[in-house]
Amino acid sequence: MEVDNNDIQIQVHFKSKQELYAVPDIPYSISANVTTTDLNTLVNTLLQHSNDEHVTADFDFLVIDECLRTTLNEHLREKAISFEEVINIEYVERFPPPEPQDCLLHDDWVSAVETRGNWILTGCYDTTVNIWTTHGTHILTIPGHTMPVKAVSWVSLDEQKGTFVTCSQDQTAMIWQWNIETNSVECISVCKGHERGIDAIDVSPIGQRFATGSWDTMLKVWSTDFSDVEASTEVKRSKKDHGATKTPKMTLQGHRESISAVQWMDNDTILTSSWDHTIKVWDLHLEGIKTEISGNKSFFDVSYSPLNNLIIAASADKNLKIYDPRLKGGNVIRNTYLGHTKWIQTVTWSTEEEFLFVSGSYDNQVKLWDHRSPKAPLYDLIGHGDKVLDIDWSNPKYIVSGGCDNSVRVFKSKKIGKEAEQN
């Protein structure tokens, strides 16, 4: 006779690393058919019994290091765990849903976004760069490139001035200096050396160098120092000229097709992804490839987190994958994340929450994920009416995305627990 799953009882221990939410460390007998909703009710009831002042919290439940997204019964069967064992269930306060804030309208597709402090830098297909406040106020439109701007990155920012770099399909990168008091901007130098459009740019952690990746398959490293321009060129600038020409300090060859993303992992290590189905880690001391990861489709974006040492990659197979670059040989894929229905164009880790990342896709969706939950995202961030081209979470308070609907969407991101009240 087949036993009804509703009749199966399982012994569990509830664990929490937050003392505020600890329940008595004793075994509890619960139904195998419980869901996250049921477990939330149970744990909050236990907490209420031990503390009359407990405020109901929303928890996620980790079983065998993965967030529960089905019934407990289905989860244990999938993991081939015996129902006769005592199951440890760790519960963690769920990250609050980001709140939609502003919609920043542009005249064309927005292909690049990056936040620093209270400022948002955007790059547009109409060849302009724009500066906005995080509260949605437009500050400045900056002409200069002659083709779509594909990536932007801050170099430095203080109360008086900001420095940033931009790159374009016009085969150049530009270094700009913005005087905040006068709200004026000057192109300090034009970086020439690529033979095709530049799709990716990133500044090193200490701001002394930046790297670019291009359709010419080359990775180039440049100095952000202004003095080397003046010392190496005799070009005299007229009022109509942009900044003097700068040449690369290093050119690295190894990809066979366009480089789609560039990120500094530390001051001497660069991560790249490419349409050639590979992710590469470059050692600048050796001026060569340190690690290579191969996929089955083109990679459109890649993001490394120093908080967990993992790489998340977006590709044409509609899936997100996490790779562990520390693993040698064999299978370096840690997990695959299903949820998008079209090409995934952009992905980035949180800079403060080691388990969280966001993705944007040609399906018009922005999704917030916990990497312990491969079956489903935490939240869908609704707003874009067309393909999402770039996403940024540099400022922990704001998730910012740009797309083919000519808009930038800003979502306010709150911390969990008591810190949320101060955010």
pLDDT band at 330 (very low <50, low <70, confident <90, very high): low
Q: Which residues contact 353 (CB under 8 A, 6 or more apart)?
A: 95, 307, 396
Q: How far apart are CA 236 and CA 175, in angstroms?
A: 17
Give per-residue pLDDT as tens, 55-69.
Answer: 999 999 999 999 999
* DSSP of 83-106: TTSPEEEEEEEPPPPPEEEEEEE-
Q: How confident is the model at residue 414 (pLDDT cuts 50, 70, 90)?
A: confident
Nearest-angstrom CA–CA distance, 362 and 12: 42
Contact 86, 34 (CB under 8 A): no
Half-sphere exposure of 59 (CA within 13 A, CB side): 30
Note the pLDDT of residue 409. Answer: 98
Q: What b/e string do you get for 145-178 counting C-beta neighbours within 10 Å, with b at 16 or more?
A: beebbbbbbbbebeeeebbbbbbbbbbbbbbbbb
- Of 164, 192, 165, whose CA–CA distance to 179 is shortest? 164
User: Quick check: 420 pLDDT over 50?
Assistant: no
Query: Quick one: pLDDT at residue 234?
Result: 33
Looking up tokens 């040449």 gives: 247
Mean pLDDT of 311-323: 95
Give pLDDT, residue 240: 39
Average pLDDT of the chain to the nearest whole number:
91
- Contact call for residues 185 and 179 (beta carbons, < 8 A): yes
Instruction: Enter the pTM of the model.
Output: 0.91
pLDDT tier, 84 (very low <50, low <70, confident <90, very high otherwise): confident
Residue 270 CB-density burial (10 A; 0-12 exposed, 13-18 middle, 19+ buried)? buried
Q: Would you state the pLDDT for residue 397? A: 96
List the structure tokens of 297. Answer: 């489709």
Q: In this predicted model, what pLDDT tens digit does every residue of 347-396 receive, in sequence order? A: 999 999 999 999 999 999 999 999 999 989 999 999 999 999 999 999 99
Which residue matches tokens 């874009």?
A: 384
Whether pLDDT at 14 is above 60? yes
Domains of the chain (ranges, CATH numbers) = 9-93 (3.10.20.90), 99-422 (2.130.10.10)
Average pLDDT estimate for 253-278: 97
Q: Phi, psi (5° rounding) for residue 261?
A: -150, 150
Position 53 scores a pLDDT of 87
SS3 144: coil
Q: pLDDT tens for residues 18-36?
A: 889 999 989 999 999 999 9
Which residues make Cβ contacts (< 8 Å) with residue 413, sequence separation at least 6? 98, 393, 396, 397, 398, 399
Predicted local distance difference test score (pLDDT) of residue 239: 33
SS3 40: helix
| Residues in the chain, total | 423
